[in-house]
Amino acid sequence: MGASKKIRVVGAIIQRGSTVFAARRNPERSAGGLWEFPGGKVEPDESPEEALARELREELSVDVSVGTFIDQSVSDVAGATIELSCYTAVLVAEDPVSSTDHDALTWVNLDELEKLEWAPGDVPIIERLPQMLHHASTAQGHEQ
């Protein structure tokens, strides 16, 4: 009857040329076996950008420079409302090679994203991503 629990999460759109980085959730986790943009929960005392940098450091052992807000989706999962905000992110050094929360990591061509089975919250982002990335790169070119 009452309002469902709201969970704020962030995801990283790490782009390299015409590909983006994707991670498949470990089978024993919720949404196990589904693909997602890596990230995690936003803690009460941190900004979405801080949360994204922290989560990628914890899960993938990589440092990133968090960039532009790209898109947001809201989905209901197991009695909770998941609010996913995705930001561009650039790897500062090495590529991710392993993950604490995922059993597979890959780079996917933008035109092949829909071939993977994505977590529910990521699906609306996937559908709009090519257009949103184009808009973000155009906006960044006009900032200064």
How many domains does the chain fold into? Answer: 1
What is the reported pTM?
0.87
Residue range 43-83, pLDDT digits in tens:
999 999 999 999 999 999 999 999 999 999 999 887 889 99
Question: What CATH number is given to the structural domain containing 124?
Answer: 3.90.79.10
What is the pLDDT confidence band of residue 1, given thresholds at 50, 70 and 90? very low
pLDDT of 28 higher than 50: yes
Residue range 132-142, pLDDT digits in tens:
877 776 665 54
Tell me which residue range forms the domain holding 119. 5-141
- The Cα 74–Cα 42 span in angstroms is 15
pLDDT of 130 higher than 90: no
